[in-house]
């Protein structure tokens, strides 16, 4: 009995201990749940706050760009636990991508971020360029492995009725237009007594075909720029008797294209070295802008882009105008001027600086060393300048230059690059043409080994090709491509490069071979 009583007492004590343990666990669980709920609630509040801040960043950036399409909105700031950044990526000449990012940490080594992107399109620029804004999207790959996607010889391209009678016809320029639901490459060629302007349907780049072609002149064409309905082309000239001419070709129905007008440039050569060839052409806002080799006349001329295509204005530059781009109130040149390889001319008739030489206005920039500017691309407030190559043994003579042109009275160099030639480490390539999209610059050169090269230009002070990076992940000759021909002109669209080639296959499509990654 005694034993029984003790035993029951022990059970009672044990039950009390267990009960107290259960109560303690329950209280602890309640505390944990309470603290857990508070943590979740706090994190949700922080997340919502970060989202609100990111949305405000993007909305403010978008509003600023809508007010001034070329505004520099890039900025970083800190507020409370948040680090904020706003950037604008130039996708093409009509589209900028606003990117807002907010980063924060609520616990050590546990960083979080929210990013919002939105695109802003300049309707004014799109209308002025008749939709020829460039690629709608930046590259979707790293472009480590450029290779031929497909090449075409005009003697064998389909359909047979549109073929050239000669193989290896040299191309001189290429332009991409989007017309209705189709895309076309406008290719010009230089051969005599043959068709010299070709509309190539590139809806399927692996099966491109000539939709139409026309012979505009017996001498062939140097270059062309096109709207959806008209192609404006410049014929090849000779220094003594046959100056270049402006040809207007109707491409509204594609098949067949036909010449509707020819306009004289009224230029004659000074000598055989300074011939009257027209080198560059650009359509913008109903006008056609023409640049010629140095002549005895006016190297810069403006024509109406509407019939009867009359000459509107002209200006003697006294230098070669090797490339022209027009934006807003200004025409921008790549020139042979040793003290102003980059120039800008005001083309607004209402301005007191209208058609005044850059030597007077000061709107020019002298790059290092006296080597001609050959190619030009504008994106946002930056001008990308490609220069002449040669056997100069001087790496200070940079042949790829990026300029800040936000203030044309104070043009500043943001960065530059010496691109060597295969002929030797201190020999420079000639940058024949370039196309910039996002932070990629696609470049055609006269290098015998690497005619096509890709550079990253997101930070103009650190321009690089991936082959320069000391990292085993990058392949040999990364971002470079060798093929046995001279690429004289190129366009980027939908992660493909469309190129005009001087010999062999005249029209070549290049891609980034993703199977190699």
- CATH match of 2-121 with 2.20.25.110: yes
Phi, psi at residue 59, to the nearest 5°?
A: -60, -40
Chain-centroid distance, C-alpha 134: 7
- Tell me 515's DSSP state: G
Q: Does residue 318 come out as left (phi exceeding 0), alpha (psi in the -120 to 50 range) or beta?
A: left
Exposed e or buried b per residue across 40-71, where buried means at least 16 C-beta atoms within 10 angstroms of its C-beta: eeeeeebeeebeebbeebbeebbebbeeebbb
Cα–Cα distance, 384 to 93 (Å, whole number): 13
> Would you state the pLDDT for residue 18?
42
Q: Is the dihedral of CA 277, 198, 149, 454 positive or negative?
A: positive
Q: Check if the beta carbon of residue 232 is closer than 8 Å to that of residue 305.
A: yes
Which residues, 6 or more positions from 469, have their beta carbon under 8 angstroms from its beta carbon?
Answer: 478
- CA dihedral of 7, 13, 17, 23, whole degrees rounded to 10: 120
Region of residue 5 (left: phi > 0; alpha: psi -120 to 50; beta: else): alpha
Region label for 50, one of left (φ > 0), alpha (ψ between -120 and 50) or beta (otherwise)? alpha
Q: pTM, whole model, 2 decimals?
A: 0.87
Residue found by looking up tokens 């882009």 in the block: 305
Each residue's pLDDT, cut to its tens digit, for the chain (517 residues) gives 333 344 344 434 444 444 444 444 444 444 444 444 445 566 788 889 989 999 999 999 999 999 999 999 999 999 889 999 999 999 999 999 999 999 998 777 778 889 999 999 999 999 999 999 999 999 999 999 999 999 998 888 877 777 776 666 889 999 999 988 899 999 999 877 789 999 999 999 999 999 999 999 888 899 999 999 999 999 987 655 677 789 999 999 878 899 999 999 887 665 555 565 888 999 999 999 999 988 878 999 999 999 999 999 999 999 999 999 999 999 999 999 999 999 999 999 999 999 999 999 999 999 988 889 999 999 999 999 999 876 666 667 789 999 999 999 999 999 999 998 887 777 888 999 999 999 999 999 998 889 999 999 999 999 999 999 988 899 999 999 998 788 999 999 999 999 999 877 899 999 999 999 9
The Cα 146–Cα 308 span in angstroms is 44
Distance from C-alpha of 389 to C-alpha of 55, rounded to nearest angstrom: 47
* Cα radius of gyration (the chain): 31
| Domain layout of the chain by residue ranges | 2-121
Dihedrals φ, ψ of 464, to 5°?
-150, 155
3-state SS assignment for residue 75: strand
Q: Which residues pair with 385 in a beta bridge?
A: 376, 401
| C-alpha to C-alpha distance for 356 and 373, rounded to whole angstroms | 21
What pLDDT was estimated at residue 17?
43
CB 225, CB 283: distance < 8 Å: yes
What was the pLDDT predicted at 207? 95
276 backbone φψ class: left, alpha, beta (φ>0; ψ -120 to 50): alpha
pLDDT of residue 96: 95
Q: Alpha-carbon distance 438 to 369, whole Å?
A: 29
**pLDDT at residue number 41:** 62
The two structure tokens encoding residue 299: 């190297």
CA distance 94 to 134: 8
User: SS3 for 80?
Assistant: coil
DSSP 240: S
Nearest to 61 by CA among 92, 80, 88: 88
What end-to-end distance do the CA atoms of the chain give, in Å?
A: 86
d(CA 74, CA 55): 16
């Amino acid at each position: 009995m005694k034993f029984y009583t003790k035993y029951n007492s022990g059970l009672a004590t044990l039950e009390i201990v267990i009960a107290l343990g259960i109560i303690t666990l329950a209280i602890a669980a309640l505390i944990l749940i309470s603290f857990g709920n508070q943590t979740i609630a706090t994190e949700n509040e922080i997340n919502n706050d970060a989202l609100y801040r990111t949305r405000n960043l993007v909305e403010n950036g978008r509003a600023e760009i809508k007010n001034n399409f070329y505004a520099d909105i890039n900025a970083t700031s800190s507020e409370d636990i948040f680090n904020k950044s706003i950037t604008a990526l130039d996708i093409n000449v009509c589209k900028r991508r606003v990117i807002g990012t907010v980063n924060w940490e609520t616990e050590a080594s546990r960083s979080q971020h929210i990013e919002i992107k939105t695109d802003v399109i300049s309707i004014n620029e799109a209308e002025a360029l008749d939709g020829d804004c460039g690629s709608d999207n930046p590259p979707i790959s790293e472009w480590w492995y450029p290779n031929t996607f497909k090449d075409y010889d005009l003697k064998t391209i389909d359909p047979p009725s549109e073929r050239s009678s000669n193989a290896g016809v040299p191309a001189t320029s290429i332009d991409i237009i989007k017309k209705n639901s189709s895309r076309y490459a406008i290719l010009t060629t230089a051969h005599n007594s043959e068709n010299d302007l070709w509309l190539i349907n590139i809806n399927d780049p692996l099966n491109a075909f000539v939709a139409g072609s026309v012979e505009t002149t017996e001498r062939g064409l140097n270059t062309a720029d096109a709207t959806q309905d008209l192609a404006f082309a410049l014929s090849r000239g000779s220094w003594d008797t046959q100056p270049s001419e402006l040809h207007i070709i109707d491409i509204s129905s594609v098949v067949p294209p036909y010449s509707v007008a020819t306009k004289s440039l009224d230029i004659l050569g000074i000598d055989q070295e300074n011939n009257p060839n027209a080198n560059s052409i650009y359509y913008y806002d109903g006008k056609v802008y023409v640049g010629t080799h140095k002549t005895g006349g006016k190297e810069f001329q403006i024509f109406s882009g509407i019939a009867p295509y009359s000459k509107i204005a002209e200006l003697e530059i006294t230098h070669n105008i090797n490339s022209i781009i027009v934006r807003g109130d200004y025409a921008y040149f790549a020139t042979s001027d040793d003290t102003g390889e980059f120039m800008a001319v005001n083309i607004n008739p209402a301005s007191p600086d209208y058609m005044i030489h850059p030597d007077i206005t000061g709107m020019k920039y002298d790059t290092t060393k006296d080597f001609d500017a050959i190619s030009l691309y504008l994106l946002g407030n930056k001008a990308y300048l490609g220069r002449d190559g040669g056997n100069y043994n001087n790496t200070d003579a940079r042949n790829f230059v990026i300029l800040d042109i936000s203030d044309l009275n104070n043009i500043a160099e943001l960065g530059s690059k010496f691109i060597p030639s295969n002929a030797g480490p201190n020999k420079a390539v000639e940058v024949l043409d370039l196309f910039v999209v996002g932070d990629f610059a696609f470049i055609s050169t006269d290098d015998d080994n690497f005619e096509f090269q890709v550079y990253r230009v997101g930070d103009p002070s650190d321009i690089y090709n991936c082959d320069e990076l000391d990292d085993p992940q990058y392949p040999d000759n990364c971002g470079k491509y060798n093929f046995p021909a001279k690429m004289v002109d190129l366009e980027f669209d939908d992660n493909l490069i469309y190129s005009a080639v001087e010999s062999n296959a005249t029209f070549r499509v290049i891609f980034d071979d993703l199977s190699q990654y």
